[in-house]
Amino acid sequence: MGENELFPTSVVGSLPRPEWLIDGIEQHERGELTDSQLISYYDDAVRLAIKEQELTGLDEISDGEQRRFSFLAFVAERISSFRMISATELMTPEARKFVDDMNLPIGIISNPVIVGKINRTAPLVADEITFAKRYTDKKVKAPIIGPFTLLINSWNKVKSGPFYPTPEAAFNDLTRMLREEIMALREAGASFVQLDEPAIGNFVDYRYTRWLMALNQWRATDMEELRKISVELINKTIKGLRGIKVGVHICRGNWPADEAHLSHGGYENMIDEILEMNADQLVLEYATKRAGNFDVFKEHPWEGEVGLGIIDVKNPRIETAQEIVSRVRKASKAFEFDKITLNPDCGFASGRPWPVVSRHVAYAKLRSQTDAAQMLRKMYN
């Protein structure tokens, strides 16, 4: 990866959006900015995100996901088979119980719901990569939503039932759409496609899983069956694809700021599924204490690459390079050091409404990551 063979540095995806972009989006919503004016705001924000990432010394960058409302919602922004529907509109008595138990900020939750036969009517993100590649010589990675996280959020019995009577009935069309996108990303010159799968991370305690199933009126499914479905969907999506690296990002969710809402627990809770995934890279959280320790990968080695999360994206305190180095040295007892890429735990702003740290903090954290990589290369070369 790049000229740095050992400990290459990357990101998971999103960067906090500039204030002026948020203002522009709000002006557009009020009809004070035209579509083409807003697009020029987005273009500027992406060029800035690229430049900032280059200045931090990253080997591989993203477009900062500046154009996406969130890592999940963008599907409905691009593909007409999906429509954003608020949780309030989908609410069921069963789901209502979870809202109270989990203290969910229900007013801001909405999901891209399947409202027609799934067809890739437009690029999901391939045009984002084409644009970014015009402004950088760095490798550009493309985070996209993973098939399981998309399905559990998008198949709703009432809204999707007329087109797909069961979630299973949507497997083929949904994975075909993502496969077509991955091939388009390969054409656009992406270095790496990352399937975002926080819904697999939620297997640590199933709280969020059960809430989504209640909201979308899935039939009572055995959790073991659901785990099998998650692996089946990922392997079906990437089967036989050549010429592009594909990874799976498993985290425990990244919003809202209050970590009490988020899942806690280590990768031992989903290790069987992880080992069955035919991915080139696992993109893992390891900076947050919610993610557990490395023991499980010492007992059950993962042979592929690891995108090792060593930056906490929710804590504004900037990690020192020395701290990062010691985290990586601990990890190297579980993963082969020459297969480790350094990255933050997750995106810095997975959704526009909930950036967690400021832009300058994200920048400083990525600088520390680069410094740590340089120290590690001296140690391990």
Residues 28-87 that bind Zn ion (CB under 5 A): none
Q: Which of 263, 243, 245 is nearest to 253 (CA)?
A: 263
Residue spans of alpha helices (H) in 216-270: 223-238
Nearer to Zn ion, 342 or 376 (CB): 342
Torsion of CA 307, 77, 128, 234, to 10 degrees: 40
Residues 6+ apart with CB under 8 A from 329: none
Does residue 279 interact with Zn ion by CB under 5 A?
Answer: no
Shortest gap between Cβ of 113 and Zn ion (angstroms)? 22
Alpha-carbon gap, residue 236 to 276, rounded angstroms: 12
Determine the interface stretch with Zn ion among 122-130, 177-185, 229-237, 246-254 (rule: CB under 5 A). Answer: 246-254
Gap between the Cα atoms of 341 and 275, Å rounded: 19
Burial of 220 (0-12, 13-18, 19+ CB in 10 A): exposed
Residue with smaller CB distance to Zn ion, 156 or 288: 288
The residue type of 46 is V
What is the smallest separation between the CB atom of 282 and Zn ion, expressed in angstroms?
12
Closest separation in Å from C-beta 201 to Zn ion: 7
Least distance from Zn ion to the Cβ atom of residue 230, Å: 15
Least distance in angstroms from the C-beta of 311 to Zn ion: 12
- Identify residue 151 by its one-letter amino acid code: L
CB of 266 to Zn ion, least distance (A): 15
CB of 225 to Zn ion, least distance (A): 24
Q: Give me 357's structure tokens.
A: 């740290």
Q: Is the dihedral of CA 61, 191, 65, 237 positive or negative?
A: negative
Cβ neighbours, 10 Å, residue 29: 10
Q: Per the structure block, which two tokens stand in for 213?
A: 């199933």
Answer for which of 185, 188, 287, 346 binds Zn ion (CB under 5 A) is 346
Least Cβ distance, residue 198 to Zn ion (angstroms): 6
| CA distances to 26, 82, 101, 226, 313 from 105, in Å | 21, 23, 12, 26, 20
Which span (120-128, 214-222, 239-247, 343-351) binds Zn ion, by CB under 5 A?
343-351
ω into residue 256 within 30 of 0, thus cis? yes
Q: Which is nearer to Zn ion, 328 or 346 (CB)?
A: 346
Q: Which of 178, 185, 199, 251 binds Zn ion (CB under 5 A)?
A: 251
Q: Which is nearer to Zn ion, 199 or 318 (CB)?
A: 199
Q: Which is nearer to Zn ion, 251 or 311 (CB)?
A: 251
Cβ closer to Zn ion: 113 or 251?
251
| Closer residue to Zn ion (CB): 52 or 197 | 197
Record the tokens describing residue 258, joined without a space. 């209050």
With CB under 5 A as the contact rule, which of the stretches 133-141, 230-238, 344-352, 357-365 interacts with Zn ion? 344-352
Question: 245 forms bridges with which residues in the sheet?
Answer: 192
Using CB under 5 A, count the residues that bind Zn ion.
2
Binding site for Zn ion (CB under 5 A): 251, 346
